[in-house]
Chains A and B, each alone.
Chain A
């Protein structure tokens, strides 16, 4: 029998209330709980007090506003999967959400929780890095924004400080953009062996901007920066996608474990990055890139 560690419980009735509670020592946010509670069972996390934010409806939104897709931290995975504006502008979100955990877990796990968990194998970190999203972190003195590419300090560590709360993630909507996510896992609901997300902005068949996110393979900030640099300014061709994917596979740092040896994971990175770029390019063309 797995029993969570001893803990006290507070229910936040407003964001301000949550922030006040989170400023106290050893208080920790409880959202969907689908990562935190299992970690408490294993004593990998032993917070003193849980601050339940599930009642904060003002953090549970997904909307398009002012040229941005705005996703509240408390939006559930299922909400993102069901969101029409998210799917329209960033098919990568729907690709990824179809393979995050399973349909029941997706009803409870939150988008913000995924980012804050900072698990190296978590899918949305690479996705938000690929789309160059911005995290809005709320504190008692107001909001500060941090690029998602600077949000994670390392495994299970983020820039969110005590007394702060991830409130929202913003993604700039750009015309002529296509995106996709490709994952290999051993079974439904499992973590990635490896996964790759790609975002391409095309201008007359040339890559004007590229975003490549990698999951579970030790990529710094979940990004394949060298591969992005290679693609920028080059024609969106299969040959260039394969060359960029090879660069991504070379520069990441996969660790051999029960999900596979290092060479297999590098092979997956190359193949999945190629596939994601190919699909992203197809979608960018379909989205009406300037011909």
Chain B
């Protein structure tokens, strides 16, 4: 049996009839075509699938799409606005924060959440909040630097700094 799931994703409303056991990550990728969020370990260890569910990051391999019914989801596709990169995205470019790029969406969505709550995090705070995410290229140093870069170049200044 399927159930109706209506979710606002990146400000746009979607409704689909899905199996109750469908995971949010597959709902986003397969039903909505939003493949920016990556499906990684499937065991809530790696964090590549992190999206926001009602303003808080969640590992989307470990929640059901049904649980998101009536709620708001934000994915990595929403970081860029009107052709402008989020400072977090720009930071990953400036500081070589990605190698293969697989963990990047989860890293960036988690970093954005951190910076919204704490605009000037210490390195230890960045490492703590990212501690549940894995980078298989082991590029952690540059990921932490990228988040610091974003903190130092708050929204509006990112583009300027990039030039």
Which A positions have Cβ atoms within 8 angstroms of B?
Answer: 1-9, 11, 30, 33-34, 37-38, 40-41, 50, 52, 54, 101-105, 107-108, 188-189
Contact = CB atoms under 8 A, between A and B. Distances in A.
B39 to A, nearest CB: 8
Nearest to A98: B128
Contacts, number: 76
A52 B23 contact: no
B66 interface: yes
A6 B131 CA distance: 32
Contact of B62 (A8, A9, A38, A103): A38
Size category of the B interface is 20 to 34
Contact of B57 (A40, A52, A104): A104
A103 B20 contact: no
A102 B106 CA distance: 14
A141 B19 CA distance: 34
A77 B57 CA distance: 14
A33 B64 CA distance: 9
A2 B62 contact: no
A5 B57 CA distance: 25
Contact of B131 (A5, A8, A52, A103): A103
B132 A104 contact: yes
A6 B63 CA distance: 15
Interface of B: 1, 3, 19-21, 23, 42-45, 47, 50, 56-59, 62-64, 66-67, 69, 110, 128-129, 131-133
Contact of B42 (A2, A11, A189): A2
B47 A4 contact: no
A266 to B, nearest CB: 29
A34 B64 CA distance: 11
A105 B132 CA distance: 8
Nearest to B129: A103
Contact of A105 (B20, B59, B128): B59
A1 B42 contact: yes
B62 A101 contact: no
Given A7-B21, A9-B20, A38-B62, A102 B67 contact: no
A38 B20 contact: no
A103 B132 contact: yes
A33 B67 contact: yes
Contacts of B50: 104
Contact of A104 (B20, B21, B110): B110
Nearest to A2: B42
A7 B23 CA distance: 12
Given A37-B64, A104-B57, A108-B63, A7 B20 contact: yes
Given A37-B62, A41-B42, A102-B132, 20 more contacts: A4-B21, A4-B23, A5-B21, A6-B21, A9-B64, A30-B64, A30-B67, A33-B63, A37-B63, A40-B21, A41-B43, A101-B132, A102-B131, A103-B128, A103-B129, A103-B131, A104-B57, A104-B58, A104-B110, A107-B56
B132 A50 contact: no
Interface centre among B43, B59, B63, B67 (most CB of A within 10 A): B67
Nearest to A5: B21
